[in-house]
């Protein structure tokens, strides 16, 4: 390390005994060894930090090379990336989950859903022909009771029109 031979060490030991004295020499040696250990530990930490930085720099370079190879050679048109795009499917699944949550919500008004299911607007039905329904509809011979609501009477008249169209 310092390229000190046995002769130089002997001269340093004699000088230390003369300058420091035999009484304080053990304490001086302990102090020197403490500082040498501290210096070696700091040098080791510095070397480890430098090694980590070199390793990270090498990994970054390797990653950049791999990405450039993958992007240029494997998929120059970007078709693989477009095929693996799942944003549309994710939106469809999100919509389906929201609809399922709404349909299974216990606080939802069931009466409104039943009325919505029963009422079919004529303009929503592609097979409904209003003129044919009016021409072929037969009046009821004797209505049993007055309908409870407009929704029930509309549903009954539509059902009668469909029945007459199916028969005729």
**93 and 85 Cβ atoms separated by less than 8 Å:** no
Q: Where are the domains of the chain?
A: 14-82, 109-167
CA-CA distances (angstroms) from residue 155 to 30, 113, 149? 104, 15, 10
Helix 150-167 / helix 110-118 crossing angle, nearest 10 deg = 30
Residue 50, classed as helix, strand or coil, is helix
**128 and 122 Cβ atoms separated by less than 8 Å:** yes
DSSP label of 138: P
pLDDT along the chain (168 residues), means of 10: 80 89 90 94 92 83 77 64 75 87 73 60 58 56 52 70 69
Q: What is the pTM of this model?
A: 0.33
Helix (H) / strand (E) element for 65: namely helix 25-69
């Amino acid at each position: 390390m310092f390229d000190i031979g046995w002769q130089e060490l002997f001269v340093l030991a004699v000088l230390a005994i003369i300058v420091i004295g035999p009484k304080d020499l053990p304490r001086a040696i302990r102090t020197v060894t403490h500082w040498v250990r501290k210096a070696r530990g700091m040098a080791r930490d510095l070397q480890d930090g430098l090694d980590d930085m070199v390793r990270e720099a090498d990994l970054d370079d390797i990653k950049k090379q791999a990405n450039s190879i993958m992007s240029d050679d494997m998929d120059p048109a970007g078709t693989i990336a477009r095929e693996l795009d799942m944003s549309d499917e994710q939106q469809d699944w999100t919509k389906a989950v929201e609809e399922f949550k709404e349909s299974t919500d216990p606080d939802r008004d069931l009466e409104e859903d039943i009325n919505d299911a029963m009422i079919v607007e004529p303009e929503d039905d592609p097979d409904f022909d209003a003129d044919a329904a009016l021409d072929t509809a037969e009046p009821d011979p004797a209505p049993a009771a007055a309908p409870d609501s407009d929704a029930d009477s509309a549903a009954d008249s539509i059902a009668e029109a469909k029945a007459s169209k199916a028969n005729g």
